Structure 1
Amino acid sequence: MTVSVVLYTSDLRVHDHPPLRAAVQGADEVVPLFVRDPAVDRAGFAAPNRLAFLADCLEDLDRSLRERGGRLVVREGDTVSEVRAVVRQTDADEVHMAAGVTAFARRREARLRGALEEDGCRLYVHDGVVTVVPPGEVVPQNSDHFAVFTPYHRRWAAEPVRVPFAAPRRVCVPSGPRSAPVPRRSAVTDVSPALPAGGETEARKRLGSWLAAHLDAYEERHDDLAGDATSRLSPYLHFGALSATEAVHRAARRGGAGADAFVRQLCWRDFHHQVLAARPEASGADYRSRSGRWRVGGDAEADLAAWREGRTGYPLVDAAMRQLAHEGWMHNRGRLITASFLAKTLCVDWREGAAHFLGLLVDGDVANNQLNWQWVAGTGTDTRPNRVLNPVAQAKRYDPDGRYVRRWVPELAGLDGPAVHEPWRLKGLDRAALAYPDPLVELSEGLARFRRLRGPS
């Protein structure tokens, strides 16, 4: 009787899962294993929103495995120690897992490989589980990764994409390995009120309904803040409850400009993963060093606090920050605008904003969060590092009638149309009765300060 272990990390599904498929095909019995490792929490994962969503994903994964005759084995402790214990208990010959790109994931893989070799067990690390095109699969001449998106996208789009795998019909799990209780969302406190439900079942339902109802219009509407026409699939992709490869195939089958635009966003996700895989230090250090300094201390701390609370005096910035707090998610256009405002209008270090986002975002992904923040802050891969997004101009373009702002900033609900984006300009307005703050800084002053502190290098 042969046994293999499937170590789940950020790939919490049964459909299109190469490690699970290989294990089921190659062994009589399989142990689907997830380890709640305190080291992962210390590395920054343990935000309440992500813990709650993770609990949903694990509960759904366990249910899917039980429908196939199996179960999910949950252990708590050091990942390497727990995997090794399961291998020894079951006499497993192989362990299968998805490849990761962060420095933490790579250290974990190296430790696990060394420990399993001592036990005569082989570790198989599968590419193409978390991303569509594995990091390092396409590279430019004289470099180990692409630093600019457009040439990467050109090469990425030409790569053949494997056909998604069906879920196994049956998963036979040995009776021996003990399991801790599968986590439950109800045990997590301080969760955003409107956090969505997690899990592969929910992910596949959302993908199908969104493709049918919204894909065709995605190119025209994906920046429409009030229309909320984005897929909202990023949390499911982050936890691996949805296969990015399957999403590409299903969108491509429908075709059209909307499908092309949606697949391009999935390419952006792969782009950031390949950058981080090549430069793991970019999770906390500038990808490209720039001259200049950030504001620190008194006034900067007060501005940062106002930004976090959605009290900057710029309605669109405040609306997006309040959406983040309420849902644990923010529209992508809102992410760009709020990040630009903090890093370039307020001149506060991008790492402060990235940390706040990671504390709330259910899709808080190190590669995408940190590298998008760097792109906006001018220390990342943007070829125009000094661009500044004007929050008023952006609001008038992407929320022209002010519906998004009025939804999230109820103090301004009585203002009409685009006037909601510049309430300080309305003559005769009772500002005290409005209970909405004045702008932290005039945009022209913020721009001048940015050029003085962080200008062209």
Structure 2
Amino acid sequence: MNVAVVLYTSDLRVHDHSPLRAALSSCDQVVPLFVRDRAIEESGFSAPNRRAFLADCLAGLDCALRERGGRLVIRSGDAVGEVVALVRETDADEVHMAAGVSGYAHAREEALRTALEAEGRRLYVHDMVVTAVAPGALRPAASDHFAVFTPYLRRWSELPPRTVTAAPRVIRVPESPRSEPLPERSAVTGVSPGLARGGEREGRRLLGAWLREGVDRYHEVHDDLAGDATSRLSPHLHFGTLSAAEAVHRARAAGGAGAEAFVRQLCWRDFHYQVLAARPESATRDYRTRRDSWRTGPGAREEIEAWKEGRTGYPVVDAAMRQLRHEGWMHNRGRLLAASFLAKTLYVDWRIGARHFLDLLVDGDLANNQMNWQWVAGTGTDTRPGRVLNPVRQGLRYDPEGAYVHRWVPELAGLPAPRVHEPWRLPEAERARYDYPEPLVELADGLARFRQGRGIE
């Protein structure tokens, strides 16, 4: 019998999985493999919340494979070395995997291809299965990628997402390959107490519930901080327990303005992937430099820590940062506000904020986290790099009753809107009743400092 290895990375499902399908069609047996990559774990990217969610996802994948007669093989170490060792153990002829977009993913693919060719085996890298449209599928006439979202959206909307395939009915796996035990969520320390559950079954359940009960009004309420009327599917899209292409197909089938707005957000996700695929260095370098003179020094460091702790003195920003710490997730509007406050009001390097988000976000990936941070900081694809989000106005607009602030900043409970968004305006005697800090900086001063640092007249 001929054997193929399917290397799982951020595509932890059996539904709509082109590498698995291709391996099953060309070989009698497959070995589904996940490598706990030492390089990723040592890089600091493997944060506790993502490790805990990953444990759920791997357990779910193993269960789905066993329901079809297979199983998941777990190994730890160097990804290339572990794949080559497994190929030798099973005498596999070929390895299938999904394409990545990061610099590390590209280097891993090339190293794996070289190592397998030296063994007389072949590597098949399939189009991304964590996006609806592959990063390189759409290109403008004069560039290798789209740098502005709107023209990308037009082309993306004209191109149907790839065909969605069903989960295979039978998966035959050789008995010989050894496997390490599945990691357990309970063994991970430092996990956010409100972290959601992972796994393909949970992701598919959430998508079904969202399309039945939540998507209809998404276009009207997606920015409502207190209403929390978003899909919460981003962790499943990040780990690939849910197919982005399937989400697009099913949302379009549901129809309506809400579904259209939701699909637009999925397009934003693909947009960021194609930017990072074309410019992997933008994970750490300005996509469009503004020659910023970011603030450093003791004062800036103290403000950064206050921002991380949710003690900036601006309630809606603090609420967002505390939600992040408790859930390992943050409402998208909250992400924009928190990022704008750090990068523009405090005028602190966006990379510091992006790193903190990656330390906590269960859905944190390089494409969406880094490119969104650059968009907000004005060093990315935003066509208005000088825009600054006012946290008071944003709080009044997207949390008009103050319910989001009351939920995450309990020391301000009982203080009604609109005063809850500007507690420093309370009379001194009343302000003393609340254990809440004064603003780190006046908004007008922060704006002036940002404009001066960036050279905006």
Question: What TM-score results when the alignment is normalised by the length of structure 1?
Answer: 0.99
Aligned to 1:227: 227
Greater shift, 237-246 or 129-138, is seen at 129-138
Aligned to 2:16: 16
Matches within 5 A, 1:29-48: 29-48=29-48
Letter of the aligned partner of 2:309 in structure 1?
A: E
Aligned to 2:346: 346
User: Are 1:51 and 2:51 counterparts?
Assistant: yes
Matches within 5 A, 1:167-316: 167-316=167-316
Aligned to 2:330: 330
Letter of the aligned partner of 1:344 in structure 2?
A: K
SS of the aligned residue for 1:74 comes to strand
Letter of the aligned partner of 2:398 in structure 1?
A: Y
SS of the aligned residue for 1:417 comes to coil
Aligned-residue offset at 1:121? 1.0
Counterpart CA distance in 2 for 1:38 and 1:436 is: 42
Letter of the aligned partner of 1:244 in structure 2?
A: A
1:281-339: CA deviation from partner (whole Å, max 9, x where unpaired): 00000000112301001110010000000000000000000000000000000000000
Aligned to 2:395: 395
Counterpart CA distance in 2 for 1:413 and 1:68 is: 52
Letter of the aligned partner of 1:220 in structure 2?
A: E
Counterpart CA distance in 2 for 1:7 and 1:43 is: 21
Aligned-residue offset at 1:424? 1.1
Counterpart CA distance in 1 for 2:252 and 2:396 is: 33
| 2:215–2:259 Cα contact (<8 Å) kept | yes
Counterpart CA distance in 1 for 2:147 and 2:275 is: 7
SS of the aligned residue for 2:44 comes to helix
User: Are 1:451 and 2:451 counterparts?
Assistant: yes
Matches within 5 A, 1:69-218: 69-218=69-218
Counterpart CA distance in 1 for 2:203 and 2:423 is: 39
Aligned-residue offset at 1:168? 0.5
Counterpart CA distance in 1 for 2:455 and 2:327 is: 35
| 1:53–1:185 Cα contact (<8 Å) kept | yes
| 1:294–1:454 Cα contact (<8 Å) kept | no
Letter of the aligned partner of 2:49 in structure 1?
A: N
| 2:322–2:408 Cα contact (<8 Å) kept | yes
Aligned to 1:440: 440
Greater shift, 90-99 or 38-47, is seen at 38-47
Counterpart CA distance in 2 for 1:77 and 1:313 is: 45
Letter of the aligned partner of 1:394 in structure 2?
A: Q
Letter of the aligned partner of 1:281 in structure 2?
A: E
| 1:386–1:455 Cα contact (<8 Å) kept | no
Question: What TM-score results when the alignment is normalised by the length of structure 2?
Answer: 0.99
Counterpart CA distance in 1 for 2:292 and 2:332 is: 28
Aligned-residue offset at 1:433? 2.7
Aligned-residue offset at 1:344? 0.4
Counterpart CA distance in 2 for 1:79 and 1:348 is: 36
Counterpart CA distance in 2 for 1:320 and 1:455 is: 30
SS of the aligned residue for 2:43 comes to helix
Counterpart CA distance in 2 for 1:178 and 1:35 is: 13
Counterpart CA distance in 2 for 1:232 and 1:81 is: 36
| 2:94–2:121 Cα contact (<8 Å) kept | yes
- Gaps of at least 5 residues in structure 1 are none
1:208-231: CA deviation from partner (whole Å, max 9, x where unpaired): 001110111000011000000000
Greater shift, 134-143 or 37-46, is seen at 37-46
SS of the aligned residue for 1:263 comes to helix
| 2:133–2:162 Cα contact (<8 Å) kept | no
Letter of the aligned partner of 1:409 in structure 2?
A: V
| 1:307–1:318 Cα contact (<8 Å) kept | yes
SS of the aligned residue for 2:433 comes to helix
1:62-92: CA deviation from partner (whole Å, max 9, x where unpaired): 0111111110000011111110111111111
| 1:99–1:130 Cα contact (<8 Å) kept | no
Letter of the aligned partner of 1:412 in structure 2?
A: L
Aligned-residue offset at 1:59? 0.5
Counterpart CA distance in 2 for 1:44 and 1:105 is: 16
| 1:238–1:365 Cα contact (<8 Å) kept | yes
Aligned-residue offset at 1:192? 0.1
Counterpart CA distance in 2 for 1:409 and 1:52 is: 26
Aligned-residue offset at 1:428? 5.1
SS of the aligned residue for 1:430 comes to helix
Aligned to 2:383: 383
**Sequence identity, in percent?**
70
Aligned to 2:404: 404
SS of the aligned residue for 2:432 comes to helix
Counterpart CA distance in 1 for 2:297 and 2:6 is: 48
Consecutive aligned runs of 4 or more in structure 1 exceeding 3 Å deviation: none
SS of the aligned residue for 1:114 comes to helix
Aligned-residue offset at 1:429? 4.5
Letter of the aligned partner of 1:325 in structure 2?
A: R
Aligned length: 457
Aligned-residue offset at 1:278? 0.6
Counterpart CA distance in 1 for 2:314 and 2:218 is: 27
